[in-house]
Chain A
Amino acid sequence: MKREIYKSQVKDAGTHGMLQIIKEVAFSDDPRDLGYMADNVPCQRACPASTNIPGYIRCITEGRYGRSYELNRIYNILPATLGRICSRPCEAACRHGEHDLGQSVNICHLKRAAADLKPGMHRIKEDLYAPSGKSVGVIGSGPAGIGAAHDLAVFGHNVTLYESMPEAGGMLRYGIPAFRLPRDILDLEIGNVLRLGVDLKVGVMVGHDVMMKDLLKKHDAVITTVGCMAPNSLGVDGESLDGVISGLDFMVRTNLGQPVPIGKRVIVVGDGFTAMDCARSSLRMGAQSVRINILSTEEFMPVDAHEIHEVKVEGARIYSLVTTHRIHGSQGRVEGIEFLRTRLEDTPDGRGRIAVPIENSAFVMEVDTVIAAIGQHPTVDFGQPLVMNGQRIGVQPDRFLTSVDRLYAAGDCVTGASNVISALASGRKVAQEVDERFVGRRRRTQMVRFEAAEQTDREREYDFIRPVAMPTLAVSDRFDVGENEVEKGYREVEAKRESLRCYLCSLKYEIDVSRCIYCSMCIDVAPRDCIKMISGVSENSDGTYGDYGETGNWNEVVAIAIDNKRCIRCGQCYDVCPMDCITITKTELVEVDREE
């Protein structure tokens, strides 16, 4: 494995400095090391696509935006897109957001910063395999389809992408409004996938314009990633009245540029991202009052606080603890919604809440347009019988193979409506399955990469930097041109400041027991209970390390150990150790070629 060192990494130390950095690098697929990564780099573990988050954030600190963008692209293919609309499971897992440690790093905003700030026309890197001569049809060009097409093309297979809509992108293009995701950004990133030789056929509806059995004849394998495009219905009286529209239809028609008549008073029913998008789009289309009615409370909404803030700032109101009972109308037109109040009851595990209607609590809200955005389910109409899993396509667990040989399925049509990053990750995984079918073995695998680090790369003061807010367009400037992007993106100085907040959990701190003199100075300076006197370490049944056995009794102490799950990588122990027996290793979960 060749190392590449750039002068920007060594500043004034020049070539000598660069040569000094080059040291041995180790790769491991030992379950203990993989388990270590899962426990200790929580953001990367939370990301369905396993994006190397500390790695790309570090690149931003160093001002290497192009590298940061490419580091993202290896894992998630569409960084500029995801940097705007990802549901951010990583941020919920970020160690900086643990109790008493402040708030999570704005990981998603940084992803976007890498895309925004990268140099113009930077080099796109793709490690291509030799052509295989195999052909794969991918149905649907949403995040899952794009993920699968990209990886299959890299593996050297011929990919044809069938899309029923006029342009590629699926939910990204037709489910998300332009003020959250500008179309030129989406075009550019999808274009980077298509230029690998992916043949895009738009306006082709499988099961209508072309039959599944013909596709299976034409291709060596077919993957369906048709997503969830059928809206769930409210299941109440009056749903078919004029002026009642599903959230998905509303967004698709708006994004196709078709006129969608809406009245002055709009009520959106639903609490997800689509509901928020519908509310914000309605305001841009001239609605005077927009209410979002949700079953439970804001605390349990599946969207982040930032989104809730924006929707309120733009003028929509959120009404909690109501459920739709029936829709009133006259002469075929909607006039009002009858709601019931709800109360919250605990789910059996005590963590979630179920909203239960309260008896005799009906009341009516007058309305001109009702947008029901309460989720969607797949429509599978290929003219090909398939074993289903409820409304979803049934597949072999982790193998993505449907009941029809050579026909695979991935993304939301398998899992039910999820989020962009999960669908994309599942598209990448099905590509591996299909490739294994062709080649007879796995060609890519995840390994832990170790490299000695010379310094902590952190100052204690970084831990107290407050999160840098995303600059947004003034509310008054949002409505004249409804497509104006609301979030403006970090400037360089803001990106760097936010990037410094990252604890760099990928740095592993260890005490060399053979040199430790048990002076316990490191324990004295530790900011929290991260350094422990231990009597042993347990091992889990899957071969990973378990918890430390802590002891306060010196007779039992076998080592002073750093609990990397508690460690915030402040570097205090490293600086204070009189024996220099604390080592820092840079660990990274990387995808590498499997040795033949």
Chain B
Amino acid sequence: MPKDDHYVIVGNGPAGNHAADTLRDEDPEANITIISDEKPLYYYKHRVPAYMVGGCEFEALRIRPYRIYREKSIRLRLGQRVERVVPQERCLYLKHMEKIHYTQLILAVGASGRRLPSHADFSEHLHCLAGFDDAKRVREAMMKSTRIVILGGDLVSMGLAREACKAGKEVVFILYSSLFWPVALKAEIQQNVTERLTALGVEVLVDTEPVTDVQPQEGGYRITLPDGSSLSADLVFSCFGFVPNIRFLLGSGINTEKGVLVDHMMRTNQEGIYACGDCAQIYNPEFKDYWLSVGWGNAETQGVLTAMNLLGGKSVIDYQPKEIFDMDGVTIRTSWWKSFT
């Protein structure tokens, strides 16, 4: 007899895809849908900077072809934004007003670029690079550009600097040591970072944070530094880590703080709704703090665990507080930080 369970996963990243695969492996009958506001198929995030500068085409980012989803009978609804979730009715509404029912829901919506409050007055002139959409928006201008300025940073900004240099751009990196994400840089690491960037051919400016203004000028932008001097660039990027995409959940009754608040089994406060990956925020009794976990490896692990718990499992998230950092009062657990230091 066919089952009418409908598992809906919001988010097409590593957490969402691993959750979907696990659900399919364990429950061959259920309806499974992945909804994402991004249009492209599941892709490698760390290759996005290369794609943006024109170093590769999208095919090089793609993790698996559409055929796999057809074989697994996982329905993909890409380019469709979830507008709100109504837990009482077990349904969610898409931007185009379509209503979708679920029996269980996994929120794996990830995060987008964190913008600094001190940049608020001119943030419309700054580009972020959290995903494919950000990259696509600016790709054409990027390929035409000769000189870019990066305000950073985080690991993405480092990747961006490397790819831009490789593509022959002139790159100026304004290093925000005290606001580096996920943790402020100590003098020793700052030195290390500066040396690595300089070796790539990047001009690194330290102790010039924060820039006081960014305004358009003919053919590009003018960046004003705290000492009143200025530089010009074709494009200005701002890369300071990530904040979970939880705005659409406000008022839904699902508890959120910096991310979606979940317990040690990835359950939100609403029955039948789970969260995992970059958007989930968990209380860690060993660390006595809430943490957000960031990075591909963490997301994959959490996606699998969430799917198993949704199907009745009782697995508990690994509490070992390794690679944990405190940033802006948010504790962050990353799986990629080690490769950086």
Contacts and interface: CB of A to CB of B under 8 A. Distances in A.
Interface in B288-332: 288-290, 328-329
Interface string B259-292: 0010000000100000000000001010011100
Interface string B89-122: 0000000010000000000000000000110110
A361 B256 CA distance: 19
A298 B261 CA distance: 13
A144 B83 CA distance: 42
B5 interface: no
B97 A353 contact: no
Given A299-B256, A321-B290, A353-B255, A360 B285 contact: yes
B289 A317 contact: no
Contacts of B283: 341, 343, 358
Contacts of B83: 100
B79 interface: no
A16 interface: no
A208 B84 CA distance: 57
A321 B257 contact: yes
B275 to A, nearest CB: 14
A357 B212 CA distance: 41
Interface string A289-303: 001000001110000
A320 B257 contact: yes
Contacts of A319: 329
Interface in B247-261: 250-251, 253, 255-258, 261
What is the interface of chain B mostly: helix, strand, loop, or mixed? Answer: loop
A423 B257 CA distance: 32
Contacts of A554: none
Nearest to A345: B269
Contact of B120 (A298, A313, A321, A361): A313
Nearest to B246: A299
Given A100-B97, A344-B255, A313 B289 contact: no
Contacts of B212: 476
Contacts of B290: 321, 341
Contact of A475 (B121, B258, B329): B121
Given A313-B120, A344-B261, A362-B288, A299 B253 contact: no
Contacts of B250: 299
Contacts of A474: 121
Contacts of B256: 297, 299
A434 B97 CA distance: 53
A6 interface: no
A351 B253 CA distance: 7
A363 interface: yes
A146 B84 CA distance: 43
Given A313-B120, A360-B285, A363-B288, A350 B257 contact: no
Contact of B117 (A299, A315, A360, A361): A315
A297 B257 contact: yes
A341 B289 contact: yes
A360 B288 contact: yes
Interface string A357-384: 0101111000000000000000000000
A454 B120 CA distance: 45
Interface string A459-486: 0000000000000001110000000000
A127 interface: no
A312 B243 CA distance: 15
A99 interface: yes
A360 B286 CA distance: 9
A100 B94 CA distance: 11
Nearest to B87: A350
Contacts of B255: 297, 344, 353
A346 interface: yes
A360 B288 CA distance: 8
A426 to B, nearest CB: 29
B130 to A, nearest CB: 20
A315 B120 CA distance: 12
Contacts of B97: 100
Contacts of A351: 253
A320 B292 CA distance: 14
Given A341-B289, A350-B253, 18 more contacts: A297-B257, A299-B250, A299-B251, A299-B256, A312-B117, A315-B118, A317-B328, A321-B290, A341-B288, A343-B261, A343-B283, A344-B261, A351-B253, A363-B289, A475-B118, A475-B120, A475-B121, A476-B212
Interface of A: 99-100, 291, 297-299, 312-313, 315, 317, 319-321, 341, 343-344, 346, 350-351, 353, 358, 360-363, 474-476
25 contacts: A99-B84, A100-B83, A100-B97, A297-B255, A297-B256, A299-B250, A299-B251, A312-B117, A313-B117, A313-B118, A313-B120, A315-B117, A315-B118, A317-B329, A321-B257, A341-B283, A341-B290, A344-B255, A344-B269, A346-B269, A353-B255, A361-B285, A361-B288, A362-B288, A363-B288
4 nearest CB pairs, A to B: A297-B257, A313-B117, A361-B288, A320-B257
